[in-house]
Chains A and B, each alone.
Chain A
Amino acid sequence: MQFGIFSVGDVTPDPTSGRTPSEHERIKAIVAIALKAEEVGLDVFATGEHHNPPFVPSSPTTMLGWIAARTERIILSTSTTLITTNDPVKIAEDYTMLQHLADGRVDLMMGRGNTGPVYPWFGQDIRQGLPLAIENYALLHELWREETVDWSGRFRTPLQSFTSTPRPLDGVPPFVWHGSIRSPEIAEQAAYYGDGFFANHIFWPKEHFQKLINLYRERYAHYGHGTPEQAIVGLGGQVFMRRNSQDAVREFRPYFDNAPVYGHGPSLEEFTEQTPLTVGSPQEVIEKTLTFRETFGDYQRQLFLMDHAGLPLKTVLEQLDLLGEEVVPVLRKEFATGRPARVPDGPTHAARVAEATEVLEVAK
């Protein structure tokens, strides 16, 4: 089981001070948060990709490359990589380059992007969002697996005798997750390829994601990749902690009340009851996170959203200390207890290389 954080990358005013960080400050804060994630023993750091203010991470592999050079162990990922508006050829190149530089510590999560105006900036149309996600990923999948690709599709110029470089490290492409909030088609896509499925989870009640994840597990088995419980599932989570539960609530409330996504709507209490958000002590975070397994089955990756709603860097780093020191060690132990041996661990490059070698051996 892997634990990490995912960052949206928004520049949001701190509602308690009214101060908005500059883009430069925010970018530096995001990478400081990534380094801290490794320092406190987390397994994954994932960045969003956005091409409109108030978001800054428009160039994820540049950012992740910088982080890769300053870390040793943490897996660098995305949340999400826009499979609709990026050219799949460029995704293939960028992420294998990153994979080489990071010695395999790279995977990525495909997402469609839900902001209509962004699509035409990249020559696309949001009404084609789903077909774009399907066609572009089909090409990306092939570019990483076939040395020479001849291709024609609806959305980009055909390719003849094209080889995407560099080739994946050790001949094993980065692992891919498919993220979705609403679309059963994406769960189906993830199942078809035997890829991972990531349920953002954080802003909606669990029943909604239960249906999508159950569908994905079922179809994963249907396509012959393993049993339903062997499907690779990732979940989002969202927490704010202080040692004393009341302190956490008091400190987080103004950030919650003004948060870009859900602010000025439900109360903090209602939202914590209806969604995975936990505001309280590390123990409360542990308890709530453990319920995810009861709802969705044993899973492979848990990512927490920690830096958002205008929280200052200092606070986020304190949160990561609590997460790394008090929460994740307990979660690792608890999630390992009673976990059937046939349920796979979170995907790593080393494990995937070993698996590929084994397949080759068997084939001989």
Chain B
Amino acid sequence: MSDGALHLVVVAAGLSVPSSTRLLADRITDATIRQLRYGGREVDLQVIELRDLAREIADNLVTGFPPPALRAAIEAVTAADGLIAVTPIFSASYSGLFKSFVDVIDKDALTGAPVLVAATGGTARHSLALEHAMRPLFAYLRAVVAPTAVYAASEDWGSTGDASGGLAARIARAAGELADLMTGRPVPARATAETVVPFEEQLAALAVGRR
């Protein structure tokens, strides 16, 4: 395994500027980078605000291909050594913009990728959306999701930075898990689109032939 800088990519789907979603993303990012540096690893960080790509994502849904800025974002996400995905919870699930972004990524492109899932919401009553929506989404993509998901409700922002069980503790635990996944994982073996099965094998698999 290379000891070069690890590529950490953050996807934040907040809609206001500034957003609490971005705020949460930044806190998790800082904690993750701290953990990685503590382990002696350099980090190359890229933050993608989906709001900036909202039109491009809609265009991709319509045309089937990503415009240049979106293509760059997709390439960054799919090449990342670790991904922090943060969405606001809207109507009991991840936001439509967040899901649309995931929808335009190839379903095999995140296989084996370490992912930390996090969300923001107006009330703590939606916190399990991370477990019933975000985690299955990344399970479908065969990503490796950190055991701790981080949810921040409005009330969390007002609570004390108590490290024993509040938001700060969850962030620290999740960041540690992501850092471990990023440093511990083997070199990813993701399929490339240009892998081709020789034609004789394709024919043989069908048992096509003259009797």
Contact status B195-A204, CB under 8 Å: no
Closest B-chain residue to A270, C-beta based?
B67
CB contacts (< 8 Å) of B210 on chain A: these are 142, 149-151
- Whether a CB of chain A sits under 8 angstroms from the CB of B208 is yes
- Whether a CB of chain A sits under 8 angstroms from the CB of B63 is yes
CB contacts (< 8 Å) of B186 on chain A: these are none
Contact status A152-B211, CB under 8 Å: yes
Closest B-chain residue to A192, C-beta based?
B199
A184-B193, A184-B194, A188-B196 known; A138 vs B62 contact (CB < 8 Å): no
Closest B-chain residue to A219, C-beta based?
B196
Which residues of chain A in 55-92 are interfacial with respect to chain B, using CB atoms and an 8 Å cutoff?
none
- Whether a CB of chain A sits under 8 angstroms from the CB of B184 is no
- Whether a CB of chain B sits under 8 angstroms from the CB of A205 is yes
Q: Assign chain A's interface to a size class.
A: 35 or more
- Whether a CB of chain A sits under 8 angstroms from the CB of B206 is yes
Which residues of chain A in 106-160 are interfacial with respect to chain B, using CB atoms and an 8 Å cutoff?
131, 134-135, 138-139, 142, 149-154, 158, 160
CB contacts (< 8 Å) of A134 on chain B: these are 202-203, 206, 208
Distance of B190 from chain A, by nearest CB (Å): 16
Most buried by A among B58, B62, B196, B208: B208
Q: Point out the residue from B67, B197, B207 that lies within 8 Å of A266, measured CB to CB.
A: B67
- Whether a CB of chain A sits under 8 angstroms from the CB of B4 is no
CB contacts (< 8 Å) of A271 on chain B: these are 63
Closest A-chain residue to B58, C-beta based?
A265
Contact with A along B169-211 (1 / 0, CB 8 A): 0000000000000000000000001111111101101111111
- Whether a CB of chain A sits under 8 angstroms from the CB of B68 is yes
Distance of A139 from chain B, by nearest CB (Å): 8
- Whether a CB of chain A sits under 8 angstroms from the CB of B140 is no
CB contacts (< 8 Å) of B208 on chain A: these are 134-135, 138-139, 153-154
Contact status B65-A204, CB under 8 Å: yes
- Whether a CB of chain A sits under 8 angstroms from the CB of B52 is no
Contact status A203-B206, CB under 8 Å: no
Contact status B206-A188, CB under 8 Å: no
- Whether a CB of chain A sits under 8 angstroms from the CB of B44 is no
Distance of A201 from chain B, by nearest CB (Å): 12
CB contacts (< 8 Å) of A139 on chain B: these are 208
Contact with B along A172-215 (1 / 0, CB 8 A): 00000000000011011101100000000001110010010001
CB contacts (< 8 Å) of A151 on chain B: these are 209-211
Interface residues of B, count at CB 8 A: 26
Contact status B206-A265, CB under 8 Å: no
Distance of A215 from chain B, by nearest CB (Å): 6
Contact status A208-B59, CB under 8 Å: no
Contact status A153-B206, CB under 8 Å: yes
- Whether a CB of chain A sits under 8 angstroms from the CB of B165 is no
- Whether a CB of chain A sits under 8 angstroms from the CB of B64 is yes
Distance of B67 from chain A, by nearest CB (Å): 6
- Whether a CB of chain B sits under 8 angstroms from the CB of A274 is yes
CA distance A150 to B210 in the complex (A): 5
Closest A-chain residue to B56, C-beta based?
A266
Contact status A208-B206, CB under 8 Å: no
Q: Point out the residue from B63, B195, B199 that lies within 8 Å of A203, measured CB to CB.
A: B63
CB contacts (< 8 Å) of A270 on chain B: these are 59, 67
Distance of A296 from chain B, by nearest CB (Å): 16
CA distance A264 to B59 in the complex (A): 8
Contact status B203-A154, CB under 8 Å: no
Distance of A179 from chain B, by nearest CB (Å): 16
Q: Point out the residue from A211, A263, A266 that lies within 8 Å of B194, measured CB to CB.
A: A211
Which residues of chain B in 42-96 are interfacial with respect to chain A, using CB atoms and an 8 Å cutoff?
58-59, 61-65, 67-68
Contact status A215-B58, CB under 8 Å: no
CA distance A136 to B155 in the complex (A): 63
CB contacts (< 8 Å) of A149 on chain B: these are 210
Contact status B194-A158, CB under 8 Å: no
CB contacts (< 8 Å) of B196 on chain A: these are 184-185, 187-188, 215, 219
Contact status B62-A274, CB under 8 Å: no
CA distance A152 to B63 in the complex (A): 40
CA distance A285 to B51 in the complex (A): 35
CA distance A135 to B58 in the complex (A): 37
Contact status B62-A266, CB under 8 Å: yes
Distance of A51 from chain B, by nearest CB (Å): 22
Distance of A303 from chain B, by nearest CB (Å): 20
* Contacts from B to A (Cβ < 8 Å): 58-59, 61-65, 67-68, 193-200, 202-203, 205-211
Between-chain CB contacts (< 8 Å), 23 pairs: A131-B206, A135-B206, A142-B210, A151-B209, A151-B211, A153-B206, A153-B208, A154-B207, A154-B208, A184-B193, A184-B195, A185-B202, A187-B196, A188-B202, A191-B199, A203-B63, A204-B65, A205-B65, A215-B194, A223-B199, A262-B63, A263-B62, A265-B62
* Contacts from A to B (Cβ < 8 Å): 131, 134-135, 138-139, 142, 149-154, 158, 160, 184-185, 187-189, 191-192, 203-205, 208, 211, 215, 219, 223, 261-266, 270-271, 274
A153-B207, A187-B196, A274-B67 known; 9 new pairs, CB 8 Å cut-off, are A142-B210, A150-B210, A184-B193, A184-B196, A185-B197, A188-B197, A188-B198, A191-B199, A266-B63
